[in-house]
Amino acid sequence: MNRREALSTADLDRRMLAIALDEARRGLSEGGIPIGAALFDAQGKVLGRGHNRRVQEGDPSAHAETDAFRRAGRQRSYRDTTMVTTLAPCWYCSGLIRQFGIGRVVVGESMTFRGGIDWLRENGVAVVDLESEECVHLLDEYITRHPDVWAEDIGEECQSAPCGGTDNVRARI
């Protein structure tokens, strides 16, 4: 890959992340957890976009990646698709990525929650972590205000005092 191709891939990754961030903000405006995702084809065309709807729908499986995946509809193959998400996918969403053979994942950030990205890499999925401060900040503010909802989202027990923000969550992960 030459320098021009590398730059265009990085630019495309940032453009795709902007769509996932838009979804995260939409979820927050609905009173939900600000995590967004979108599924793209090999040319960067949006197939489906979505956001975490666990709070809004009372559905523990309504994660951003599953929302985007469902909205993309049936595809013949997912091998050449890219899942872009504002936060590293949890084990549930990582399983979806592996089950359907999504070949590439672009993560806004994995500092707040590492999820299954190491497992995805070990199993041949190309994972790019953009280390977006915007993604970190958006979720950090939410976690500070709603540590109990965040703990529930990642399958942790919240004991009020230890749940008080991402520093404590990061220490437990």
Is 65 annotated in the active site?
yes
Residue 32 has phi, psi (to 5 degrees) of: -105, -175
Other Cβ atoms within 10 Å of 42 Cβ, number: 11
Contact between 137 and 165 (Cβ < 8 Å): no
Contact between 72 and 41 (Cβ < 8 Å): no
Helix (H) or strand (E) holding 69: helix 64-72
Catalytic residue among 57, 65, 109, 131: 65
Residues designated as active site: 65
